[in-house]
Each structure stands twice: as C-alpha cells, then as structure tokens.
Amino acid sequence: MKKKVAILASIKNLRTDLSHTHNMNKAIALGISIAKDLPQDAEVQFEVGQTYYLYKKYNLALPYLVKSQSLAPNNYFSILLICNCYSDVGNWQKALPYALKVSKLLKNGNRDQYSYQTLQVNSVIATSYLYSDNWKSAVAGFMAIIDMITKGIINSNQPPIPVPQVNKLTNIEKRLVHRVLYLPIEIKARELEAKLLLSLAAIQAGFRVVIGRTWILSANNFMDLPPGIILFKTLNAIDANNMLVANTEGRHINVVIDEEAFGRSTSARATKLNVDRDAAHIADHIFAQSSEHLKSLNNHLGDISEKAIITGNPKLDLFRYKNTASKNHPAAKRTLILFCCMAGNINPNGRSFSRTIEQTLAAGISSATPANIEELSQLLKDICQYEVSIIPQFRETIKAVAKQFEHCDIVVRPHPVESNKLWEQAFAKNHNIEVSNTGTLTDWLNKSDAVVYVSGCGSGLEASLQEIPTIRFTGENHIKDPETGLSSFINIEAKNCKDVIKQLNRALTLREKGEQNDEVHNFDKYLFRNKESLNVELIMEQISALQRKYSAATSLPIENIKELSKRRKIKFTLQPFHTNKFPDTSVNQISNLLEIFCHKFNYSVKYNVESIENGLFLISRSNN
C-alpha cells in the first residue's frame, strides 16, 4: 500500500509540468509498471489513463480508463475522461453515451450545476446533437449552458475575471519607454498581415518590433520585456486586465486599436459585448477606425476624446489594391466560389462550447451589473440560435450550388476559430467541394470570383472592399440575424439556395462579359481611409510622438529581447486552442510576407527577422 501511494504521488508530481518530455516518459513508465502489479486496482488504472490523457495520447489512455470504469462503475471521473478522449478528437458519436452517463451521475450526486464537470458534459451532449443534425436538442442544450453560466456568475457576486484595480495604475510620466513596439496576435489568419504591414511602418520610423503569439508575449506579465509600447487589439475586459498588468508590472505604455470594430456593427448592443469601461480608462491612447466608431465608443463610455484619435484601421490598408480575379481571368483557371461560414460560438475548435461562452462573457462583463450580464447573455443566446438555424440551410445551399455549378471549384471556409469537422462530414461525398480554413482570408479572396457569406460575418465586408461579387445569406426562418456585424447591412440578400444561384449566375455572367458589379457601397462612415498615406503610417506618427514624449534615458537592452527564451525559467504551455488560433510559423514565412508588402506598398526599408520564443519574432532594421 505504501509503495502504491508513493508511486502515484511520483506520477502526479512528474506530470505537473506537461512540457517536459523526460518527465512524461518517466511518469508513463511508472504507471505501466504499477498497473501490471495491480491490475484490479481502479485508482491505479485511472491514474495511468489520466497520465496518458494529459499527454494527449488518447488511444493509449482509453484501455486503462475503461478498465478503471469496469472496476468502479459509478466513478464519474473515469467515465468523464473516457468521454473527453473521444470529444477532444471530435468523435462525438462515441463521446455522447459517456457524457449522458456522467450527467446522470452528477444529477444523482447533486453536484453544483456550475461545476466544470457539469458544464463540460453538457457541452459534449449539445455538440453531439449538433453533429447528428438534431438541431432542436442542440439549441436547447446550448441555451441551458448559457443559463447555467449566467446564473453561476450572478450568484457568485464576482465577475468571471478580476475587476481591474485601476487605483494601482502608474502615471504615464513614470513609464519611460524604449523605441520598441510590441504587437500581440491572437488569431493569425485575421491579424498577422495587417500587423506585419504596421511593422514595416514601425521599422521605417526607427522602432524595433516584437510580434507573435499573445500568450507567449504576455507569459511573464510583460515584466521580462524592456519597457516599450504595446498595441492591444481590443477594449474588452480581458485586455483591461492585460493592460493593467502591462502598466503596473512591465511599465509599458498601452495603446489600443479595438480591432473587433473592423467588422462590428456600431449598435449599442454589439459595442457592449466587446467594449469595457475599465479598458478604456486604463488605455493610454485609443485609435478609432472612423467617426462612427468613435461615436459608438463615446455613447458607451462617455467622452474619450482626450485619449482617442481617428487613424483608421491597419487592416483597411490591405484593400488598397483590389482583387483582379474577375477582371483578368485566365481561360485555364476554374471559377472559384467561396462560401464563408460563421459558427465559431457553437462549433469551436480546441475548446468546449461552455468555455467559449465563459470567455465571451468574461470579455464584456468585468464590472457589469446583473442586468447587464443578463443582457449580454441574451445576446449570446440570440447569436447561438442564429448560428444553429443557419447551418442546415447554408449546408443545403452549398450542395445545391455545387450541383448547379459543377464546372466550378467550391471552397467552404469555416471561421478561423471554428472546427472544420462539422463541414467536412457534410460534404464528404461532394467531389467539387473543398473545406479549408488554412491560409488567410485575403489569400482566398484573391482567388475568388464570387463570395457567399453568412450575414454578420466579417468576410462579407472584406470581400466587398475587394470589389468581389458578394452575396449575403440570411436563411428563411423565424430566427433573425442579431446584426452584430457590419456585413449584416450590406450586399445583396439571399434567403435560400434559389436566391443564391440566381445571384451567382448574374455575377458570373457579368464577369465573363468583363463588366463590373453595379452595387456600390459607401464605407467612409464606418472605415476611415487616410488618402495621403497608409493608415499604418498615421498610427505610427501617433506612437512615435508618444515614445518621444516619454522616452527612456537608457539605450534599449536588445539582448534581453533576443535571449528571451533562454531567460525564461517557466514556459507557457500551448494548448490545441492556442495553436488553432495561431499555428506554428517560421521565420521564412514572416520574411516572405514582409517582402511581399515591401513590394506592394513601396517600402524600401531593409529588415531582419529573428525567432526569439515559440511563435514570437523580433523584426529589426538591417544595415545590409
């Protein structure tokens, strides 16, 4: 007995840091050995299975977990891990019976409705219904989870993330910074290109740039980075805390672009979901993308004119050069119709539905009242119901288009945070339908002759800016578009497959004749375009002025940046959720994109790219 206790304690200790391969191998070896010695011990079998599970070796974990469950049938922990082994790889059909059994055991045991286990199994059950086309049960499951989370937050009398202690803020005069710009990125496919273009403007202005995975950049509360200027992407409650830490611990200056505003509706409802009052208070400077954007912020936050300026969004610079696929269409090129999905909330990749909802609510309610929490909760319900209602209609529309346009390539692009599997299983038998969310949306738009998008999806706005024939799909049922996206108000509406086919025929006929689509959009109200120079250059003028005003007296300790990986004693462990958002990226990929932008936007500056951490890069001016 003492030997068993000691070995299990050693196994648990070895797996406290999952990044060490040596520890993993040692823990597994110890587990296999004791499992052979004690084959009828449920606890031992469970711990060995859990060890394999934590190291994502699901096939090896299952035999031990199944054995443990057979020895202790009512131990819901082993059943839950069996469920997770299947759900983590998207095998919802096999996960469902185990999730239902855990749910029953939890109810019988009167477990807390807001417990992690309860939310986890309910997410698996609802998602299993989604993947089996049981739309009504899926919606009921998703709504119940949102209610559970909302009730749990209100009853706890605490927000899901700490309320920023703004009284601890360090005055900007005491935060003297070097000429270095930090660009954290959450979603590579959506953010990287615009921020690399901004990097070129920064290098030209004499800055060094550190760019890459936001979780790696902030892993040590920004304390191991020389004081500089950090460009945050949002004004939500999560970044409010990040900015507070950067201010108080790292002594950085914080500026914000509110990138979510690029495709967001300016309605009060949409603004509340993404904009937090504390974030606006903590930010040193806010870059608004238009007069309408600034107006929506002022309406929600009060007058912020002292720290806000209209600069435009860096992303808009990418659309200065329009798509030419429909103007110069090679005879040998097959026509490509791009369908852009929008089900990232109900079909997330790398994390559960419940975790997605918790994070989304957390982003908007750091100091909200119960009434505001319920208002945001209702908005999420509306969004999720809309996403579920659209899937079967959009799916059948895509199949109908693929049949009607057999001579065309049909590409289905899920949202960057969405799982491909839902769509891959739907189109497995369709030879001319490809499901892919690899690469950037810009890449796919450059190849596309027409775009069909779910109303509200930001892809509709980007396709319109590229002057590509664009169709907005709304479906035809009682579930209304929540209208949180700017693209809900533009482009030709199509309610069903007949509407889509009709509009595609018109668009492709115009293309063959070399004629332009006659639909005109005026985006100036929502998207400021700097006519004399790029938006990134206007942003860098503001950042440069800030740095000159609060300039550090000492020189930049560049070696501290270059040796960041060596200096860090504790590493951030990336989960699939993180790598799905920001896949592994090489120095060559960064360099190649910079070279493309130098040519495209007439930058003559020479640069050097170095990898300094896992998914983190230093871009400096080169003397060569």
Q: What is the pLDDT of residues 174-227, one digit of tens each?
A: 999 999 999 999 999 889 999 999 999 999 999 999 999 999 999 999 999 999
Q: Which residue type occupies 293?
A: H
For the record, the structure tokens of 178 come out as: 């070097």
Q: Which residue in this structure is represented by tokens 């107006």?
A: 295
Cα–Cα distance for residue pair 436/440, rounded to 1 Å: 11
Share of the chain above pLDDT 90, in %: 64
Does residue 328 belong to any structural domain of this protein?
no
Query: Band of the pLDDT at 268, cuts 50, 70, 90?
Result: confident
Q: What is the mean pLDDT of residues 14-37?
A: 86
Residue 604, pLDDT > 80, answer yes
By CB atoms closer than 10 A (0-12, 13-18, 19+), residue 411 is buried
Does residue 549 belong to any structural domain of this protein?
yes
Q: How far is CA 579 from CA 16, 280, 340, 357, 573, in A?
A: 21, 29, 21, 19, 11
Cα–Cα distance for residue pair 419/351, rounded to 1 Å: 10
pLDDT tens digits, one per residue of 326-352: 444 444 478 999 999 999 999 999 889
Highest mean pLDDT among 101-110, 138-147, 460-469: 138-147
Residue 284, pLDDT > 90, answer yes
Task: Single out the residue of 470, 476, 335, 477 nearest to residue 402, CA to CA.
Answer: 335
Residue 124, pLDDT > 50, answer yes
**Computed over its alpha carbons, how large is the radius of gyration of the chain?**
26
| b/e per residue 271-300 (b: at least 16 CB within 10 A) | bbbbbbbbbbbbbbbbbbbbebbbebbeeb
Same-domain status, 609 and 501: no
pLDDT tens digits, one per residue of 405-415: 999 999 999 99
pLDDT at 523: 77
Q: Which residue in this structure is represented by tokens 């993330």?
A: 161
For the record, the structure tokens of 100 come out as: 């239902």
Residue 112, pLDDT > 70, answer no
Lowest mean pLDDT among 227-231, 515-519, 569-573, 611-615: 515-519
Query: Band of the pLDDT at 283, cuts 50, 70, 90?
Result: very high
Q: What is the mean pLDDT of residues 244-262?
A: 92
pLDDT at 107: 79
Does residue 298 belong to any structural domain of this protein?
yes
Same-domain status, 569 and 471: no
Same-domain status, 402 and 546: no
Q: What is the mean pLDDT of residues 148-173?
A: 82
For the record, the structure tokens of 545 come out as: 């002025």
Mean pLDDT of all residues belonging to the chain:
90
What CATH number is attached to the domain comprising 396?
3.40.50.2000
Q: How far is CA 539 from CA 260, 291, 378, in A?
A: 17, 16, 36
Cα–Cα distance for residue pair 413/394, rounded to 1 Å: 12
Same-domain status, 200 and 304: yes
Query: Band of the pLDDT at 163, cuts 50, 70, 90?
Result: confident
Does residue 25 belong to any structural domain of this protein?
yes
More confident residue, 619 or 326: 619
For the record, the structure tokens of 273 come out as: 């979901």
Query: Band of the pLDDT at 322, cuts 50, 70, 90?
Result: low
Residue 11, pLDDT > 60, answer yes
pLDDT at 363: 73
Cα–Cα distance for residue pair 528/542, rounded to 1 Å: 16
Query: Band of the pLDDT at 310, cuts 50, 70, 90?
Result: very high
For 422-443, the DSSP string reads: HHHHHSTT-TTEEE---S-HHH
Cα–Cα distance for residue pair 249/234, rounded to 1 Å: 20
Cα–Cα distance for residue pair 106/114, rounded to 1 Å: 11
Same-domain status, 195 and 306: yes
Same-domain status, 480 and 555: no
Say what the pTM is: 0.86
The secondary structure of residue 290, as a DSSP letter, is S
Does residue 147 belong to any structural domain of this protein?
no
Same-domain status, 349 and 308: no
**Who's near 445: CB < 8 A, 6+ residues apart?**
323, 338, 451, 462, 463, 466, 468
Query: Band of the pLDDT at 325, cuts 50, 70, 90?
Result: very low
Q: What is the mean pLDDT of residues 425-441?
A: 91
Same-domain status, 240 and 206: yes
pLDDT at 328: 45
pLDDT at 331: 47
Identify the domain containing residue 472 by its residue range: 336-353+382-512
Same-domain status, 409 and 475: yes
Q: Which residue type occupies 601?
A: F
Does residue 592 belong to any structural domain of this protein?
yes
Residue 421, pLDDT > 90, answer yes
Q: How far is CA 213 from CA 251, 271, 355, in A?
A: 20, 25, 20
Strand 253-256 versus strand 180-185 pairing type: unpaired
Query: Band of the pLDDT at 359, cuts 50, 70, 90?
Result: confident
For the record, the structure tokens of 302 come out as: 């009060």
Contact 279, 256 (CB under 8 A): yes
Contact 490, 469 (CB under 8 A): no
> In 3-state terms, the chain is what percent helix, strand and coil (to 5)?
50, 10, 35
pLDDT at 327: 45
pLDDT at 192: 96
Residue 390, pLDDT > 80, answer yes
Does residue 148 belong to any structural domain of this protein?
no
Does residue 166 belong to any structural domain of this protein?
no
pLDDT at 382: 95
Same-domain status, 462 and 556: no
Q: What is the mean pLDDT of residues 306-335?
A: 74
pLDDT at 286: 97
Q: What is the mean pLDDT of residues 491-503?
A: 95
What CATH number is attached to the domain comprising 305?
3.40.50
Residue 2, pLDDT > 70, answer yes
For the record, the structure tokens of 397 come out as: 């529309």
Handedness of CA 184, 190, 196, 197 (dihedral sign): negative
Same-domain status, 78 and 23: yes
Q: What is the mean pLDDT of residues 599-617?
A: 95
What CATH number is attached to the domain comprising 110?
1.25.40.10
Q: How many domains are contained in the chain?
A: 3
Same-domain status, 11 and 84: yes
